[in-house]
């Protein structure tokens, strides 16, 4: 069980830990990757060395570039 923080410094440290872990999670989520979801919603990662992964990334990059062109 996690020990409860009591003082203001401990609470501030707890907040900082929370922010840091959120930032780490957001960073992880933005790493280049391909995820596929089955009808039940379970996600599976298409490994970088897997057949077709590189091509999927290329297509997505082209789509992002196209959307950017349209906006500009």
Partner 1 sequence: MSILTTMADTLTPGRAADSLCELSADVRAAVLLDAAGSLAGASGDGSEHARVLGDLARQLFEEVDRATRDWDTEPPEQVEVQVAGGAVFASRTPRWTLAAVAKRGALSSLMLYDLKAVLGELEGGPPIRRSGPPADEGTPGPAPEEFTAEELPMPELGE
DSSP 7: S
Residue from 1, 39, 49, 72 in contact with partner 1 (CB under 8 A): 39
**DSSP at 44:** E
Measured from the CB atom, the residue of 1 and 55 that comes closer to partner 1 is: 55
Q: Which two tokens stand for residue 55?
A: 């091509």
Q: Is 11 one of the binding residues for partner 1 (CB under 8 A)?
A: no
Helix (H) or strand (E) holding 54: helix 53-71
- At 45, is the secondary structure helix, strand, or coil? strand
Of 2-10, 11-19, 22-30: span binding partner 1 (CB under 8 A): 22-30
| Alpha-carbon span 36 to 45, nearest angstrom | 6
Stretch that binds partner 1, among 1-9, 16-24, 49-57 (CB under 8 A): 49-57
Which residues are at the interface with partner 1 (CB under 8 A)?
A: 26, 29-39, 43-44, 46, 50-53, 55-57, 59-71
């Amino acid at each position: 069980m996690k020990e409860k923080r009591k003082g203001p410094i401990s609470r501030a440290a707890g907040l900082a830990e929370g922010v840091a872990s959120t930032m780490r999670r957001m960073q992880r989520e933005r790493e280049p990757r391909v995820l596929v979801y089955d009808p039940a919603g379970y996600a599976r990662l298409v490994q970088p060395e897997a057949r077709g992964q590189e091509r999927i990334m290329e297509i997505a990059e082209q789509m992002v570039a196209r959307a950017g062109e349209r906006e500009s």
